[in-house]
Amino acid sequence: METITWHDFEKVELRVGTILEVADFPEARKPAFKVKVDFGPFGIKQSSAQITKHYRREELIGRQIVGVINFPKKQIATFMSEFLVTGFADENGDIVLVSVEQNVPNGSKLI
């Protein structure tokens, strides 16, 4: 594991946002959803999320998640991803979302 400085960590924009829309993403190589998330002052951004094993579309709407919003955009199949959805892999390698325990303002930075 590489050690980083506090300054390095401060460069990563880990922000909270509320999921507004979830759609299937059949063109993705691995099962995924397209999610649209409100990051408050940073705007509404979209991403691909490989979270279909643990979550249904309808239960994700309104949920706050943590995303990295300052990576460059990335083309995923026919879709342009604008942020990275964060999560942890379970014992099977399926993603469990990083979320907040209580609602906080959209766009709040992880500190």
Q: Is 109 inside any structural domain?
A: no
Digit-by-digit pLDDT tens for the chain (111 residues) are 999 999 999 999 999 999 999 999 999 999 999 999 999 999 999 999 999 999 999 999 999 999 999 999 999 988 999 999 999 999 999 999 999 999 999 999 998
Q: Is 24 inside any structural domain?
A: yes
Q: How many CB atoms lie within 10 A of CB 84?
A: 18
Q: What is the pLDDT of residue 87?
A: 98
Q: Is 41 inside any structural domain?
A: yes
Q: Which domain holds residue 30?
A: 12-97
Give the count of domains, the chain.
1
Q: What is the pLDDT of residue 27?
A: 93
